[in-house]
Chains A and B, each alone.
Chain A
């Protein structure tokens, strides 16, 4: 079992949730989503996001529109659909519960260790 793999798994697990969260308040195109995620150090390389976006779009959680760009090719602006919003809401709850649970578990461990 490699530590890199486990890390990647953990990151990938929450990535979908994070992408949806980025798009919660406003539509964004890939570079903007990437910037946010990279700033948060959630993402090391960009490649991972493309299959995820396509998957979310195909699942009906996201939709997109084309917008012209001055500096390059036209951009895809992604936004949440109604289902996407509901989906995100549920994920939010789950995440909070999970965070809570993980905190409790890890905290307990720390105390028993010390």
Chain B
């Protein structure tokens, strides 16, 4: 019993057995492949089909008769094998082809020959490509491996990059044989034989089943499936390596997703809370508003930051997803380019904001007020810092601008960026110069902001009280405000700096400061461009000498010379000369002289 199919051959209807049908189909397919389009393939095939149809019609007596393998074989015998269809181009070409020589040795392409492989089939593939035996290539590899291992790297690279010759056509191209039907069929038969040979007993069962199956199904497929059952060790190794690569790739994907997602979530939270803060006024966040000298709306800046930072992380996240999920649906080019555009725009906008912000510091201007102090050179001036519980509690100079509220609850910017410089003067009275400086986009703005700095000092009872901080209204923003105090003191005046001025005095000695922070809490006499400490303890000086013959250190003095030796230390005095020895110690004096 046989299954039949219905076919339409050149417009005529036929019943045909399934196996016969498959044979006929293969036959027509083979013929088709032996022609090119330029030869008028479709027309030739149509003619052949018409002829076969005619031949079938002659053999079919009635409508019920089925065409079987016998009829198909007869037809093939009449029509001829695919080779018979080949027309020798040289004979029939009107003009002899110039590139005929090339045709006889068709161009080859590099493939990996996994049929004749030891590892990945790279060597045999190269062998085919260069037309030499693969053994020479293999020897070259071994030499290259000894040559600093470059061979291994190159081999792996080729293994990855060079495609495997999978189809019969590719195998033919690899070996440089022309791809035509007879070669293809020959190759398939060859391949089939090789496999059944090499696999031996194991394949015996398989080949039995194959020979059965081959009747029904494409021979090529089965040849391949047997091949896959005879995989080499290196194929398995390659699979293992690939597996690890995949695991690593997935791991990277997971990391990318986590990093991308957390960053985006953090950014969204940040954006949201900033937006809320703008409305609700969370105390600490005023800082941001005041620091923003360029007066760009806060929400805009935060949105720009969100896009600039968020979009790359979104793409990371997306990449991670793509690695994990193979058939992930693309977000689409429109979405991608929109995001890219948004990102670039955000960056540009941020740069503009940044430039605006920077330009706020383009001009630094200062405003100086000088006040005379009612004190003469004969008096002693005491300088003290005054602190405020709110602003600068610690008498410590720092140059940060901070925000606080004053007693009335008004917001204030304050800082302790105050430098004290002391200079001598020939005037009879002392004076104090307060220099306030600030930055601004232009001169007017800078000077305005400088003037707006609020700084106080007071003088009574020969004592100068200096605030240890200054403040300004928040509308002036953070614009590098600072205070320089210059004290001009008459020569011969005695001045006493309270210890709490220490941190404010220590700076800018190159400006001609004549008082060092080391001399606070002492009475200083002002000299011409210098000062003298009146009650400083005399500095202990230690001399250490260590040269051949002379040694002076904490232990004492030791002198070595020709025939003489003097040593003074904790234990006493010891002197030795050529003829006399003197020793003074806890035992008394001992003198030894030689007769």
Contact = CB atoms under 8 A, between A and B. Distances in A.
A16 to B, nearest CB: 7
B81 interface: yes
Given A30-B51, A47-B80, A72-B54, A54 B92 contact: no
A9 B92 CA distance: 11
A63 B92 CA distance: 19
A13 B39 CA distance: 18
Given A30-B47, A51-B35, A72 B84 contact: no
Interface in B4-41: 9-12, 31, 35, 39-40
Contact of A50 (B48, B58, B78, B92): B48
Interface string B45-88: 00110110110011000000000000000000111111011011
B43 interface: yes
Nearest to A38: B78
Contacts of B35: 51
Contacts of B50: 30, 72-76
Interface of A: 9, 12-13, 16, 30-31, 44-48, 50-55, 58-59, 69, 71-76
Given A46-B78, A48-B87, A54-B40, 7 more contacts: A47-B31, A47-B48, A50-B51, A55-B92, A72-B50, A72-B54, A73-B12
A30 B43 CA distance: 14
A12 B39 contact: no
Given A9-B91, A50-B47, A73 B80 contact: no
B44 interface: yes
Nearest to A53: B47
Contact of A72 (B44, B47, B53, B88): B53
Contact of B92 (A16, A47, A73): A16
A31 B54 contact: yes
Contacts of A52: 87, 92
29 contacts: A9-B91, A12-B87, A13-B91, A16-B92, A30-B50, A45-B77, A45-B79, A45-B81, A46-B51, A46-B80, A47-B79, A47-B82, A48-B80, A51-B39, A51-B40, A51-B87, A54-B43, A54-B44, A54-B47, A55-B39, A58-B40, A59-B94, A71-B54, A71-B57, A71-B58, A72-B58, A73-B50, A74-B11, A75-B50
Contacts of A51: 35, 39-40, 44, 85, 87
**Interface SS of chain B:** helix
A35 to B, nearest CB: 12
Interface string B90-108: 0110100000000000000
A44 B80 contact: yes
Q: Which 3 A-B pairs have the closest CB atoms?
A: A45-B80, A47-B80, A72-B57
B10 A73 contact: yes
A52 to B, nearest CB: 7
B79 A76 contact: no
Given A30-B51, A54-B44, A73-B12, A48 B85 contact: yes
Contacts of A31: 51, 54
Contacts of A58: 40
A46 B92 CA distance: 18
A51 B92 CA distance: 11
Contacts of A47: 31, 48, 79-82, 84-85
